[in-house]
């Protein structure tokens, strides 16, 4: 098993508040690791440390064998990142958005054209490539953002809540793309999510965070077995390990986030 992401006792505080309290986990090539946890559990903070956007206060993390603190530039070369915020320009076509990223990455000539064409095809966006992105559906925007993030064929892909604000059909479309990426490239994928069906369907392994601590890691099947109920769902697993009930309505922050995402696409 080739370990690509290694996290050991990682810590981060903001002022007096410790957001991440000594978290450890590994991700191997070909795995989709889901970070679950209630609002404020520390998921985004961990992703931001592993993508070198935030310096850890303690512990150690390596990505592709490079230390996130001391070898940040190397880490950036081997990762792709799809943040929560919009990373495409609605006033450009899908092809133009891809071209900008490809140029920023230093790709040139026929190789650049080949990668853009291959990825637009992979993401089922080739027919829409010449259309302005502001005319795309939410699912198409997400697939374009993933295409941009993997133009340099990274060995690890980080996605922060990749399907928030998408309808169930669009959500499934993104899940299929992630499963296909994993199968075809053996990429290691880390995603954060609030959707238990996403954790169950796409993730090969999940870690449940609560108040900055990793409570448990395992495959969805292993975690369900730990709950001690043969019919346990991932919702039951989440409640069992965090003590949080999944409220169908979500909290204010969650709702605001979904509205924000819908607005940015509209
Ligand atoms: N830049 C910051 N300054 C101060 N506090 C912060 C900052 N970023 C995060 N926090 C705090 O750290 C804690 C963890 O936040 P984080 O965004 O990592 O949680 P999360 O699990 O991603 O939550 P959500 O599911 O709502 O996105 C929260 O209490 C949050 O308020």
Instruction: State if residue 207 touches ligand 1 by the CB under 6 angstroms criterion.
Output: no
Which pLDDT tens digit goes with each residue over 159-208? 999 999 899 999 999 999 999 999 899 999 999 999 999 999 999 999 99
Q: Residue of the nearest CA to atom 1 in ligand 1?
A: 14
**Model pLDDT, residue 263:** 46
Q: Which of 4-8, 130-134, 251-255 has the lowest mean pLDDT?
A: 251-255
20-77 pLDDT, tens per residue? Answer: 999 999 999 999 999 999 999 999 999 999 999 999 999 999 999 999 999 999 999 9
The protein residue whose alpha carbon is closest to atom 28 in ligand 1 is 40
Domain 3-265 has CATH 3.40.50.300: yes
Name the band, by pLDDT with cuts 50, 70 and 90, for residue 250.
very low
Res 245: pLDDT: 59
CA distance 245 to 80: 32
Q: Is the CB of 210 under 6 A from ligand 1?
A: no
Please report the pLDDT score of residue 134 as a whole number.
Answer: 95
ipTM over 0.85: yes
Q: Could you identify the atom of ligand 1 that is nearest to the CA of residue 35? A: 21
- The rounded Å distance from CA 42 to ligand 1 centre is 6
Convert 190-257 into a string of H (helix), E (strand) and C (coil): EEEECCHHHHHHHCCEEEEEECCEEEEEECHHHHHHHHCCCCCCHHHHHHHHHCCCCCCCCCHHHHHH
Q: Is the CB of 39 under 6 A from ligand 1?
A: yes
CA of 156 to the centre of ligand 1 (A): 23
142 in ligand 1 pocket by Cβ < 6 Å? no
């Amino acid at each position: 098993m080739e370990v690509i992401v290694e996290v050991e006792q990682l810590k981060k505080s903001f002022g007096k508040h410790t957001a991440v309290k000594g978290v450890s986990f590994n991700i191997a090539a070909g795995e989709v690791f889901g970070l679950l946890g209630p609002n404020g559990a520390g998921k985004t903070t961990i992703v931001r440390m592993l993508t070198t956007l935030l310096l850890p206060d303690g512990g150690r993390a390596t990505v592709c064998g490079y230390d996130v603190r001391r070898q940040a530039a190397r880490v950036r070369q081997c990762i792709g990142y799809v943040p929560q915020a919009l990373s495409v320009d609605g006033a450009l076509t899908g092809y133009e958005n891809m071209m900008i990223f490809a140029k920023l990455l230093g790709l040139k000539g026929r190789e650049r054209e080949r990668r853009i064409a291959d990825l637009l095809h992979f993401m089922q966006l080739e027919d829409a490539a010449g259309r302005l992105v502001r005319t795309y559906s939410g699912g198409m925007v997400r697939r374009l953002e993933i295409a941009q993030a993997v133009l340099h064929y990274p060995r690890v892909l980080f996605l922060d809540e990749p399907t928030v604000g998408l309808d169930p059909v669009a959500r499934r479309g993104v899940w299929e793309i992630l499963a296909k990426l994993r199968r075809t490239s053996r990429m290691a994928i880390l995603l954060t999510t609030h959707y238990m069906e996403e954790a169950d369907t796409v993730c090969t392994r999940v870690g449940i965070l609560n108040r900055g601590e990793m409570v448990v890691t395992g495959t969805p099947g292993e975690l369900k077995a730990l709950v001690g109920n043969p019919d346990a769902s991932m919702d039951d697993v989440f409640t069992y390990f965090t003590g949080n009930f999944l409220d169908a309505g979500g909290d204010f922050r969650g709702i605001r986030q979904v509205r924000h995402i819908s607005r940015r696409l509209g």
